A and B are shown apart, each in its own frame.
Chain A
């Protein structure tokens, strides 16, 4: 069995308003940071997972992303995968 470290990024779809991102953008400007054009907040999920090779692990992660980690009505996901 191989072990993989997977970092999953879940982001609100561009069409979905992100009020928490807007509030953070506003606070960033108050802090004095200049030039911020857009700020949106997502989630990162770190998974350590075992499987027989990268393809099998990708299959499991795809299922998890699609069914649990992200709600594809409002969110997109992508992930990076590293063999340990």
Chain B
């Protein structure tokens, strides 16, 4: 796995790209490469992270404009080939807007921008995104969002439950998300979108290491 490279996508307005890169390189010794949103050549990366932030200033709707970037257009092929894609916060919003994951993310119920640590239940093992050495079923990760309320219709909830696509649920729902959903995967399991920030929980000195396993799992085949 020496040459395994994770592409970290940079949109105008991304602000967690360097955090993701730091967590992967500094904490996990995994090579990263920044991918400008106008690039559509994904041939030299083995997995991709869509980081948090405010791509295109959140204009129109969060993630709505990013969907039309050349990089997101090229992502379809990448996902179909089975390679792994992780969307964190704004990255999750982009994945729903572009149809890689169902549902949508809308304004928090209390209209506050919520910045907090939250407890999360690991619901599904699909894709192996949360497999940790302690076999923990509950993890703690930071959230920081104004528009993180997951919304979908009841048929979609049923589909998510029946196909074990719900990856994470909030223990104490902070934002009004349907069914306490904090993160979901696609059917294949190679695409994960979540509102919490695993890259901000990769070192004991800054509040825990529960995010390490999710980032580390990017190198899974």
Which residue of B108, B110, B151 is within 8 Å of A74 (Cβ)? Answer: B151
Contact residues in A for B106 (Cβ distance below 8 Å) = 12, 16-17, 74
Interface: B57 (CB within 8 A)? no
Inter-chain CA distance A71–B93, complex, in Å, is: 12
User: Which of B61, B111, B153 has a CB less than 8 Å from the CB of A71?
Assistant: B61
Contact of B111 with A73 in the complex, beta carbons under 8 Å: no
Name the residue of chain B whose CB is nearest to the CB of A12. Answer: B106
Closest Cβ of chain A: how far from B191's Cβ, in Å?
Answer: 17
26 contacts across the A-B interface (CB closer than 8 A): A12-B106, A16-B106, A16-B151, A17-B106, A17-B149, A17-B176, A19-B108, A19-B109, A19-B110, A19-B111, A19-B176, A20-B111, A23-B111, A68-B60, A68-B64, A69-B60, A71-B64, A71-B97, A73-B96, A73-B102, A73-B103, A73-B104, A73-B151, A73-B152, A74-B104, A74-B151
Contacts of B96 in A (CB 8 A): 73
Q: How far is the CB of A45 from the nearest CB of chain B, in Å?
A: 9
CA distance A19 to B177 in the complex (A): 13
Interface size class of A (residues with CB under 8 A): 10 to 19
Q: Does B107 contact A (CB under 8 A)?
A: yes
Within 8 A of B (CB), among A62-84: 68-69, 71, 73-74
- CB <8 Å contact, A20 and B61: no
Provide the bound-state CA to CA distance between A21 and B61, in Å: 16
Residues of B within 8 A of A15 (CB): 153
* Residue of A whose beta carbon sits closest to that of B105: A74
A20: chain B residues at CB < 8 Å are 107, 111
CA distance A61 to B104 in the complex (A): 22
For the complex of A and B, the 9 pairs showing the least CB-CB separation, nearest first, are A73-B104, A74-B104, A19-B111, A71-B104, A19-B109, A19-B107, A71-B61, A74-B151, A74-B106
Given A12-B106, A73-B104, A74-B151, 8 further pairs, Cβ under 8 A: A16-B106, A17-B109, A17-B176, A19-B107, A68-B68, A71-B97, A71-B104, A73-B151
